[in-house]
Amino acid sequence: MRIGELADRAGMTTRALRYYESRGLLPARRAGNGYRDYDEDDLALLHQIRTLQDFGFDLEETRPFVDCLRSGHPEGDSCPASLEVYRRKLAELDGVIARLQEVRDQVGAQLVRAEAAAAPEPRCELTPYDA
């Protein structure tokens, strides 16, 4: 298939595909007429890249998955390098979650302090005794 059809089927622009090609993530095969030529494997590769990017992986982090797919693994994430990227990403996410928990705790403490400061002083109203 040509680049326009691949872009349509992958939900990407031809510009993005050319960029992936320039980065070595998408093969640069040419047909006899000079047009770029792609197949279903290239579409699967783009879906893998897109999924990983949706999960927060940057483009360079997708490279081991692309290489794994190219080496014949159907999922792209069963190779040692892919597994290592998963491990690094999980460690990164754990750090982000820990930091967010710290911030949440601080905001919660500030809220408790602010609510206590904003609460009106208890008033004791005595009615005069008329005897």
Query: What confidence tens digit (pLDDT) does each residue in 104-124 have?
Result: 999 999 999 999 988 777 776
Q: pTM here?
A: 0.74
Residue 106 belongs to domain with CATH number: 1.10.1660.10
Residue 80 lies in a domain: yes
What is the Cα–Cα distance from 129 to 97, expressed in whole angstroms?
61
Query: What confidence tens digit (pLDDT) does each residue in 80-105 have?
Result: 999 999 999 999 999 999 999 999 99
Q: In the chain, how many domains are there?
A: 1
By residue range, what is the domain housing residue 66? 3-117
pLDDT at 31: 84
Query: What confidence tens digit (pLDDT) does each residue in 34-63 have?
Result: 888 999 999 999 999 999 999 999 999 999
Residue 85 lies in a domain: yes
Residue 127 lies in a domain: no
Residue 37 lies in a domain: yes
What is the Cα–Cα distance from 26 to 86, expressed in whole angstroms?
21
pLDDT at 40: 92
Residue 35 lies in a domain: yes
